[in-house]
Amino acid sequence: MGKLNIVGVGPGSKEYLTQNAIETVENSDITIGSQRALDLFENKKEYIVFNVKDLTKKLEESVEMAKEGKNITILSTGDPGFSGVLKPIKRISNEKGFNIDNINVIPGISSLQLAASKNHINWDEANIITFHGRENIEDILQYINNGKTTIALPSRKVKDMAKFLLDNDVNPNREVIVCERLSYPEERIVKSNLKEIANSEFTYMCVMII
């Protein structure tokens, strides 16, 4: 039985890669990830690209290859344990009888951490929520008025989350910061209010601070 590495690659820029992540990829037989994640690594051997549509299939294949004795690395944007691939890999490994002790998790810097640092927020005092891949965005309502800053990864467009909050009687003048494409050259941080954000356009690569 081989080893299955799950490597956090950070928010997107090479400067946020850890040395451990770089060395793990260099020493892997096969590295698997999105094209955006794979492009961060220069010295990789064989590699496989996945996308949203075939993600589950590629993760299943990764576990099978590790069971056959190969040293496999899966790249996870941000940190594997926060809206990353650790959760599905644990499920698939359990289904396929792959020993969890052979899974090596290498943490990465989450975009939420970077958003907090850019805005001088003590993120251990904030509500930290991810809605990636989730439909039950109403869960945010139990936190939004508890006196803490909320840092969230929206499930859909940022403006959809803003409209949802407005529809649920959150003050339209509530301060909102949208951090878009953090660590990339086109990084943008917009400080506004809920009403204006609900009428603004952003890419899907955003962190929302409320």
Look up residue 185 and give its two tokens: 């050259």
User: The tokens 């820029």 sit on which residue?
Assistant: 13
> Quick one: the chain helix, strand, coil %, rounded to 5?
35, 25, 40
Whole-model pTM: value is 0.90
Those residues of the chain that have pLDDT short of 50 are none
Find the helix or strand (DSSP H, E) in which 95 lies.
helix 86-96
Q: Which residues contact 172 (CB under 8 A, 6 or more apart)?
A: 166, 193, 194, 195
List pLDDT tens digits, range 129-141.
998 766 678 889 9
Question: In Å, how far are 77, 80, 86, 123, 162 from 113, measured between CA atoms?
Answer: 13, 14, 18, 7, 21
List pLDDT tens digits, range 93-130.
999 999 999 999 999 999 999 999 999 999 999 999 99
Separation of alpha carbons 58 and 73, rounded Å: 12
Kindly list the structural domains of the chain, giving each domain's residue range(s) and its CATH number in brackets, ordered by start.
Answer: 4-106 (3.40.1010.10), 111-209 (3.30.950.10)
- Strands 188-193 and 175-180: what pairing? antiparallel
Position 184 scores a pLDDT of: 95
